[in-house]
């Protein structure tokens, strides 16, 4: 006599959309870390290398890593902001949670735009 073991396999996250979104959130976090490390590594290497070809390869890697980092950070921010209303010390209804999420999104986008305009744009112009 034996019980039938039921364990989630390695592809448990393909079962439904919510699991998938969680998986994407976590992968985005990993990709963000990996791509940032790649960029930093490339920056260090480019100081040491003076070879034109290697320099170009490093530039390309940096370029694509930047976009991966950007995409990952957006996905990660969106999904984490979505989770914030749930951890408040007070209980919110479903609509209340959606409202808080949208407010947080708006604040985040607003702050990001401000940062671009006041910090990064002047630097790039200079």
Partner 1 sequence: MKNFTLKIQRYDPETEKVYFEEHTVPYAKDLTVLDALNHIKEKTSAEIAYRWACRMGMCGSCGAIVNGKPALMCSTFCRTLKQPISLQPLRNFPVIKDLVVDTDDAMDKFREAMPYTEIQKRHINEKDETLQTPKQLKQLKQASQCIKCMLCYSACPVYGLNKDFIGPAAGALAQRYNKDTRDKIKDKRMDSVTGKNGVYKCSFIGECSEVCPKSVDPAASLQKLKVAGMFHAVKKTARTVIKKHEKNLHEIP
Q: With CB under 8 A as the contact rule, which of the stretches 16-24, 45-53, 63-71, 107-115 interacts with partner 1?
A: 16-24
Query: Considering the rule CB under 8 A, would residue 11 count as an interface residue with partner 1?
Result: no
8 A C-beta contact, residue 102 and residue 84: no
Q: Is 123 in the site for partner 1 (CB under 8 A)?
A: no
Dig out the tokens for 111 from the structure: 């702050």
Task: Tell me how far apart the alpha carbons of residues 66 and 69 are, in angstroms, rounded to a whole number.
Answer: 5
CB of residue 71 to partner 1, shortest distance in Å: 21
| Encoded tokens for 59 | 């530039």
**Which part of the chain contacts partner 1 (CB under 8 A), choosing from 3-11, 40-48, 54-62, 98-106?**
3-11
95: contact with partner 1 by CB under 8 A: no
Q: Judged by CB under 8 A, does residue 125 bind partner 1?
A: no
The upper half-sphere exposure of residue 91, i.e. CA atoms within 13 Å in the direction of its Cβ, equals 1
Q: What SS3 class is residue 126?
A: coil
Would you tell me which residues interact with partner 1 (CB under 8 A)? Answer: 1-8, 12-13, 15-16, 18-19, 22, 26, 83, 86-87, 89, 91
């Amino acid at each position: 006599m034996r019980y039938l073991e039921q364990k989630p396999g390695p592809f448990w996250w393909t079962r439904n959309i919510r699991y998938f979104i969680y998986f994407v959130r976590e992968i985005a976090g990993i990709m963000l870390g990996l791509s940032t490390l790649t960029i930093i590594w490339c920056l260090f290497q480019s100081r040491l290398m003076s070879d034109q070809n290697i320099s170009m390869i490093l530039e390309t890697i940096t370029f694509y890593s930047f976009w991966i980092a950007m995409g990952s950070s957006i996905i990660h921010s969106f999904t984490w902001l979505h989770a914030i209303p749930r951890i408040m010390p007070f209980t919110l209804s479903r609509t209340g949670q959606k409202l808080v999420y949208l407010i947080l999104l708006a604040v985040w986008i607003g702050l990001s735009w401000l940062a671009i305009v006041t910090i990064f744009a002047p630097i790039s112009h200079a």
